[in-house]
Copies of this chain bind each other. A is one copy, B any other.
């Protein structure tokens, strides 16, 4: 398939920013979401490509709307 752009990096940076705002460590956050710590690490660094179900649990873990994780919006 044809990967549009650096969506993963943008998403990851956004996730990291929101997680830090909530004052959680990667590990504490991963536990709260029921996800693996190393996987969350990969997502934040843009080397992983999570599914929308994972996006859902991440948003829930942060206590924010899903849209908050995508508020960088489709780059060229």
Interface residues of A (CB under 8 A from B): 1-5, 7-8, 11, 34-35, 49-57, 59-60, 65-67, 70-71, 73-74
Contact = CB atoms under 8 A, between A and B. Distances in A.
B1 A35 contact: yes
Contact of A65 (B2, B49, B52, B74): B74
A60 B76 CA distance: 9
A6 to B, nearest CB: 10
A43 to B, nearest CB: 9
A55 B25 CA distance: 28
A63 to B, nearest CB: 9
B49 A51 contact: yes
Given A51-B49, A67-B67, A74-B65, A57 B2 contact: yes
